[in-house]
Amino acid sequence: MSGELLLRPAGEIASAVNTGAVSAREVAEAAIARIEATDGKLGAFTDPTFGRALAEAEAVDTAVAGGATLPLAGVPYAVKNLFDIAGVTTRAGARINDDHPPAKADATLVRQMTAAGAVMLGGLNMGEYAYDFTGENAHHGASLNPHDPTRMSGGSSGGSGTAVAAGMVAASLGSDTNGSIRVPASFCGLFGLKPTFGRLSRAGSFPFCASLDHLGPIARSAADLALIFDALQVDDPADPAQIRRPALDTTPGIDDGIDGLRIAVAGGYFRERGMPEAYAAVDHVAKALGVDREVVVPEAARARGAAYLITTSESSNLHLGRLRERAADFDPDTRGRLLSGAMVPAAWAIQAQRFRSWFREAMRKVLEDVDIILAPATPFHALKSGTKTVTLDGVEMPARPNIGIFTQPISFVGLPVVAVPVWLPGAALPIGVQVVAPAWREDWALRVARYLEASGAVSAPVANS
């Protein structure tokens, strides 16, 4: 029973543990067995923490036996290996960080998960220093797509997608600077939440770009995203970019439906650069929502370009010492990007930040007339592993930076997004659609995602592999 339950949504697992129908220990043992049986060929985990999982599960069982009800009781989860896990080295996907001492304490969001009763199974594979959309890693191997292991998981939170789609855990935590939660959610057929910039604490996670980094959950249901998001919110002075706001409790209203929400499809840039499946997925979701309105996001190509400039210059500043001392130890797919990023003139990067202010105001105006914007999450289904170039709109370009062309303009101005998984008729692979809301309205995006899930328009089945 615990084995079957493991493949159910996190909310069902928590209910079963809270009512005593199953113990957290049994669920943890089922997760460990599934990881041991399947991860060898998928490469999701770099740092399993099975001893910790069993100890946490027993603590949850003791608490439940004592009368406690915990929102994530016994829910097995794992985290991208840029989150600090006490006693584990925070790799951030990098050979260089493998030399770091183990973290002394858990990241803030890991502490929140523990307090809610979730059970930590370990650290997950990722692209080096999160500068990645593929899930490939020269040091730690590739995290592969459970729906077709010859294909990419998507990145940079690759293992966070692989582990959830393969049913090893019910949920994971990842980071998203330009799309690193939404891309693996799209490629692996999962629900992913990138909250508003400044909503969740990033303390105890290894940074990539201070002005663009977000953390958030990946799961197999929209309701699970809401449960986890609610549990993750806490005021944390340790993250200087976090905005002090009242917590947003999204679970109570998750089934409120879409009445009253003005929804539109993003046109222009978001209809010009993808493969047919990207637009078919958006149209499928629009139809399920009864939406035929289109809205143009102004200057989206420039927004994507400005995010690109900020990313390359901020991340290269962060890594400058390592680029000087240990350039040979970087992943070859990351090294050239970071070395060139260290050579970006300041005027380019500052102009990009000024353009960001302009674009923020432009998006505010767009969002005065519309509450939800639908856009593709990725321009195509998961690519074959090792793909180096793609052809979009007749132009051949490098694959790695261009997988995120649709996610990048949205996170550039911090808007909250739920990526929802679409299975088009006859398709062997899933593809995601972004449900974009105004700043601080994660609840609206989650409601739309839940409505789509309840109507059967989107779903995140566990892969058979």
Partner 1 sequence: MSKPFDAEKHVDHMAEVMGLTIAPEWRQSVVDNMAATAAVAELVLAFPLDDHVEPAPVFEA
Residues serving a catalytic function are 80, 156, 180
> Is residue 439 involved in binding partner 1 (CB under 8 A)?
yes
> Is residue 300 involved in binding partner 1 (CB under 8 A)?
no
How far is residue 118's CA from residue 18's CA, in Å, rounded to a whole number? Answer: 12
Give residues 309-328 in contact with partner 1 (rule: CB under 8 A): 309, 312, 320, 323-324, 327-328
3-state helix, strand, coil in the chain (%, to 5): 40, 15, 45
**Nearer to partner 1 (CB atom), residue 282 or residue 338:** 338
Q: Strand, helix or coil at 175?
A: strand
Contacts (Cβ under 8 Å, ≥6 apart) of 307: 178, 212, 352, 408, 409, 411, 412
> Is residue 355 involved in binding partner 1 (CB under 8 A)?
yes
Min separation Cβ 267 and partner 1, Å = 20
Min separation Cβ 340 and partner 1, Å = 4
How far is residue 420's CA from residue 430's CA, in Å, rounded to a whole number? Answer: 10
> Is residue 343 involved in binding partner 1 (CB under 8 A)?
yes
> Is residue 382 involved in binding partner 1 (CB under 8 A)?
no
How far is residue 370's CA from residue 373's CA, in Å, rounded to a whole number? Answer: 7
Residue carrying structure tokens 């030399």: 99
CB 139 within 8 A of CB 93: yes
Tell me how far CA of residue 248 lies from CA of 83, 157, 410, 440, in angstroms.
23, 25, 21, 8
Query: Which listed residue (7, 54, 344, 366) binds partner 1 by CB under 8 A?
Result: 344
Min separation Cβ 107 and partner 1, Å = 20
Give residues 412-431 in contact with partner 1 (rule: CB under 8 A): 413-415
Min separation Cβ 8 and partner 1, Å = 34
Instruction: Calculate Rg over the CA atoms of the chain.
Output: 20
Give residues 173-202 in contact with partner 1 (rule: CB under 8 A): 196-198
Stretch that binds partner 1, among 101-109, 148-156, 346-354, 448-456 (CB under 8 A): 346-354
Q: Strand, helix or coil at 254?
A: coil
Interface residue list for partner 1 (CB under 8 A): 196-198, 211-212, 240-241, 243, 299, 301-302, 305-306, 308-309, 312, 320, 323-324, 327-328, 332, 335-337, 339-345, 347-348, 350-358, 360, 398, 401, 413-415, 439-440
